[in-house]
Amino acid sequence: MNLPGRHLLLLTLGLLLLTGCGAARQTRIHHSQLLSFGTLVDISLWDASPEQIENAERIIHDELHAMHHDWHAWQPGPLTETNQQLRGGEWFVCPPAILPLIVQAKQLYQRSGGLFNPAIGQLVALWGFHSDTLPKGPPPPKEAIASLVARKPGMDAIVIDGQRIRSTNPAVQLDFGAFAKGYAVDRIIEKLIANGIGNAIINAGGDLRAIGRHGDRPWRIGIRNPRGPGVLAGIELSGDESVFTSGDYERFFRYRGKRYHHIIDPRTGYPARGVTSVTVIHDNAATADAAATALFVAGPEEWHPIARRMGIKYVMVVDDKGRIHMNPAMARRIQFESEQKPEVVLSKPL
Ligand code: AMP
Ligand code: MG
């Protein structure tokens, strides 16, 4: 997720409907954009009634509101309250908006070998990314990074007993930035389905989940080029699939010619190296989101075993030399857009 980049500036705008559905019924495709609490969401619906369109926009608005209020890592709300309590180490009743995320995040943390680690909120804050504006550098002192890494914050330190939780490690501070958007997209899709909507794409800044089809053909989407404008590749989606990308271009600063971005390797405390973007396709959006972040951290050498552990079947890793690492099933689906085909490194099947 890229919460803060487009975030606060637009907060006061609340819900802004940018485009309407004028010709929607004639073409049977409805496109609109919602700018809600700083997150721009593209909605595509096939064959939806005006009532369903209205419901969809309300559902999306409500979910994004919940996401920004409940799960914000630095503005006061349920997550900052939870973090304060976790520091104390005592049992407390976890806010209901937070508990299910902790449960799911603990599983994803385990399956990612700790590379998806939403317990490293203090490290993300130390790098200056818990702010509505991007840091300018310099990077934090290496001693401060090393001492936080040595305290080993991890999701396994959070113990759950019914509605109550506690942390056995006071260095644990939650930051759901790597999977809250996926979690919210899953909830939106569930509610759309409950409203009888069977053919839709919910695209939040390039991260999306698609259900059904675009009439008699599959949905087609583009994956952004991490270095430059435009689209790197296109892909057709079938049935119910989520496509999530983590990139070093989303939130970063430059200092003395070096790029420092927001995806932190919990093992070193530094921004993960070797990768510019990772795209994952999976049925569940929260898992796809967490996996994209974890595989970014794993890098070009280690992504394959972690993807396997997380049950991911389609991965594309763009490394810092511009080479594209993919498993064969992903390679069969990817259609490169530019004339010049990039160098592709095929992995073993997942
Ligand atoms: P994403 O764009 O989904 O890869 O999420 C990146 C965001 O997740 C960052 O802005 C941080 O808030 C948080 N984050 C950074 N590194 C990690 C990590 N290794 N595990 C979990 N969350 C992280
Ligand atoms: Mg992610």
pLDDT at 14: 32
- SS3 assignment, position 336: strand
Contact 1, 15 (CB under 8 A): no
Measured in Å, residue 59 CA sits from the centre of ligand 2 at 22
Closest-lying ligand 1 atom to the alpha carbon of residue 4: 10
Measured in Å, residue 105 CA sits from the centre of ligand 1 at 12
Measured distance between the N- and C-terminal CA atoms of the chain, rounded to whole angstroms: 25
Q: Are strands 164-167 and 92-93 parallel, antiparallel or unpaired?
A: antiparallel
Instruction: Determine the number of helices (DSSP H) and then strands (DSSP E) in the chain.
Output: 9, 18
Measured in Å, residue 335 CA sits from the centre of ligand 1 at 28
pLDDT at 27: 66
Measured in Å, residue 2 CA sits from the centre of ligand 2 at 9
The protein residue with its alpha carbon nearest to ligand 1, atom 12, reads 177
pLDDT at 3: 42
Residue ranges for the chain with pLDDT beneath 70: 1-27
The protein residue with its alpha carbon nearest to ligand 1, atom 23, reads 178
Sign of CA dihedral 66, 69, 71, 72: positive
Closest-lying ligand 1 atom to the alpha carbon of residue 293: 4
Q: Which two tokens stand for residue 153?
A: 């914050």
Locus of tokens 């698609």: 210
- SS3 assignment, position 30: strand
pLDDT at 19: 39
Measured in Å, residue 291 CA sits from the centre of ligand 2 at 7
Ligand 1 near 116 CB (within 6 A) = yes
pLDDT at 63: 94
pLDDT at 156: 98
Sign of CA dihedral 87, 152, 131, 127: positive
pLDDT in tens, 68-112: 999 999 999 999 999 999 999 999 999 999 999 999 999 999 999
Ligand 1 near 173 CB (within 6 A) = no
The whole-angstrom separation of Cα 29 and Cα 200 is 10
Q: Which of 116, 129, 262, 267 to mutate to test the pocket of ligand 1 (most atoms within 8 A of CB)?
A: 262
Ligand 1 near 293 CB (within 6 A) = yes
pLDDT in tens, 136-156: 999 999 999 999 999 999 999
The whole-angstrom separation of Cα 177 and Cα 262 is 10
Q: Longest C-alpha distance within the chain, in Å?
A: 63
Q: Which of 80, 132, 242, 263 to mutate to test the pocket of ligand 1 (most atoms within 8 A of CB)?
A: 263
Closest CA to 297 of 252, 255, 267, 331: 267
Ligand 1 near 299 CB (within 6 A) = no
Sign of CA dihedral 246, 42, 189, 282: negative
